[in-house]
Structure 1
C-alpha cells in the first residue's frame, strides 16, 4: 500500500513540473506577442560611436583638402525603432558621418553629424553631438636635410673643456634629414630646422648626444605650430672633440758645409706668427711644444734683412687650425755685416770624384762672392780664407765641359757663410792609367 501511494505522488509531481514548463513557455510567447503588437518600438542607447570623417568622393577630396582638426571623434546615440530590428543593435549596425557638401575651400566648418542604419532600418536618432567643428587645409610635405644646409645643429649648451675644442665641421646629425607635414600656408613659412641640445654639458672627448629637440625657423625666428608634424621623433648629435695647443715653430736650417755652427744664428731671427694653434686627438700632443715646418732654410738664402717663408705641415699628431699656412722668418742679424771677395782658381777644389775620371776646373776665378757674418769675423776674412768646392757626388758623370754649382765658404769661420749660389765650368774626361805590358 505505501508503495502505491509513492507511485501516485511521483506521477502527480511529474505532471506539475510539465505544467510549470508549459506555463513559462506560454508566458514568454504571450510577452513576445504583446511586445510586437501592443509595444512594437524600443529605444537603444549606443555610446562612443566613431564618427567617419572619410573624404572619399567629396569635393574636399577632389580639391586636395585634408582634415587638420576636429572637435569630436565619437557621438552618443539614443536610437528608436522596431523592437525586432534594433533590439540587438551595436556600433556596427549604425554609421555616423559628417555632411561635407559645404566644404569647398580651406577653412573651419560646422558640419552636421548624420547617423543611418547600415541595414537600412527605419530609425529615429537622438544624438548628443549635432555638429562638429572641422578645419580643412591643403597638407603638404617639405624635406630639410644636412646636405642642403636646411637642417643644422645647435650645441651651444655644450662646451669643450679647457685645452679642447668641438670641431664645428665634424658635427653630424643622425638621421640627417627630416620631413615636415602640415598646412601648406604653414609649411611654406618654414625656412630651416635646427636640432638643439637640451642639457648643458662640458666635454673632453667625442660624444653622442641623444637628448635633443627639433625647432623650426622662419628666417631667424622660431616658428611654432601644433599643426605641423615630422617623421622623426628623435635625433642624435655626434660631436668630435679635439685637443688644442699653441705650438712654437721649430725653424730648421740646412748648413751647406759641415763646419757651420747653427747655434750662431740663435736670437738673430724672428718668426711670425710666434705660435700656431693645432688640433689633434693623439694624447702625445699634450706634451708637445714645438711645431714642425716643411723642409729647411738653406743658409745660402739668408742675408741681412732677409724675409723668408716656411710652410706649416700637418703631422700624424695634429692639424694646423691657425689659418696661417706659412711662417715668415725675419733675419735682422744685428751686429752682422758682409764683404765681397774673389775666389781664384787655386782656391777651387774638386771632391768625391770617381778614380776613373779627371775633373778640371776651367773657370779662372769666381767674382763678387758675398760673405756674411759677425762684423769682427768679416773684418778678418780675405780671399785666402775662402774656398770653393765642387762636390761630384751631387752629379752624374758626363764627359766634356759643363757648368756646375760649387759650395763657397770660409772653413775657419764657423759663423760666416756665402750668400747666394755660385757656379764654375769644369771639364770631365776619363782617367787613363799607365798599364805595364809584359812581353
Structure 2
C-alpha cells in the first residue's frame, strides 16, 4: 500500500502488542482509521526460538483479544477454527501452546489486519497539526502514534562490540545453532530462553556438543513463580494498585516479584534434569556438561581457536578461565529509545532509558493534546511486572483504545481479584461498606467469615 496519507492512529511495530490494538480497533470501523507499519518482512515473533517443542508460558486465552472481547474474530480459538485444527489442537495441546503455533496465529492476524511490512520508520516530527512520520515507503501524517517496537537484544558489555559468527543472542539461535555440533559451547543467562536453548542443544537434534557449559548468574537455575497468588500480579486491578505507588515503592516491589517473570518453568527444569540423566547414564553419548549457578561471564577475548572466557563466582569472587568455541547469550532484552524520535525527543520526559508513562500508557509531551503518543511494552517501571508479557496485552490495548476515543469503547471494570490492599479496606470502612479489595466485587478472606 502506498504511503503519503493521513490516519488517525499510526501503530509503529507489529508485535503482539500493536496487533492486539489493531484487532480490538477493527470493530470501531470509520470511527478510527488505524495503520500498522513494520520494518521487518513478517510478523514472526521471537523467530530464534521457534522450534516445534518450544512452549508458550501463558494460556492461549491470553491472546490478542479474548480477555477483553472473547467474541472477537481475531481470537486464537477462531484462528484454530478457521485453520480446521480446533479439535486436534485441544487433544494435542492440553498442557501448553507451542510458540510456533502462536507465531502462526500472529502471522494470520497480521495478514487479516493489513499490516504494512517492509516499512521502516526513519523519523517522527510534528508540524503543529499532525505527526509527520517518514518511512522507507513514503510519509504518513497521523493524529496519534502508538510505539510498539518492543525491546532490543541485550549482550553484556564484555562482548557487546564483538562481531563474530561464533557469538549470537538467543533471538538468533534457530539460524545459528547448527554450529554447536562437536564444539565446546558456553551458554550465558539464567531465564526461560536460556533453558529452552540448553534443552535444544542437549536434545541432539543437530548433534551434541562435545562439552556444554551453562553459567546462570546470581539467580542460578531458579524456578518460575507460577503460583496462584503470584499470578494475580498479572491482573488489571493489581496494575492499577501498582501505578498508584511511589517510584521507590514500585522499584522495590518489582525486585521482589522478579521470579514471576525471570525464572524457568518447572516442566522445563524437569525435562533438562531428565535429559542430563539420559546423557550420563542411558545413552551412549559423549557430552561433558557443567551447570554453574551464581557464575557470570566477566571477560571475553577472541583467539585463533575461538574464545577465552573469564568466569567469576558471584559469591566467592573467585575467577576461572576456560576456552570455548561458541558463546550464546540468552541475556534478555532491554528497552531503547528509538532513534526515529530524535526530532521530538526533547519534548518528551525520559527516565534513564525509558519514558515517563501515564496511567493510560500515554507518554506526556509538550505538544497539543489532540496529538498523543502512547507506548506498548515500555512501562514496566510504572505499570508492573506484567507489562512486558502477553498476559495483559489485550487489556492494555483496550486501555489505549479507550483513551484514543475519549470514551469507554471497551468496558474494563468488571473483573475480580482475590488479593486485597490495606488502603482499600480503610476506604471502604469510612464509606460503611463491607471489607473488600480493589473493587466492589473483590473479595477479602478473613478468619471466621
Give the shorter-chain TM-score range: under 0.3
Larger proportion of helix: 2
| Bigger radius of gyration among the two | 1
Larger proportion of strand: 1
Length-normalised TM-score, structure 2: 0.15
Length-normalised TM-score, structure 1: 0.16
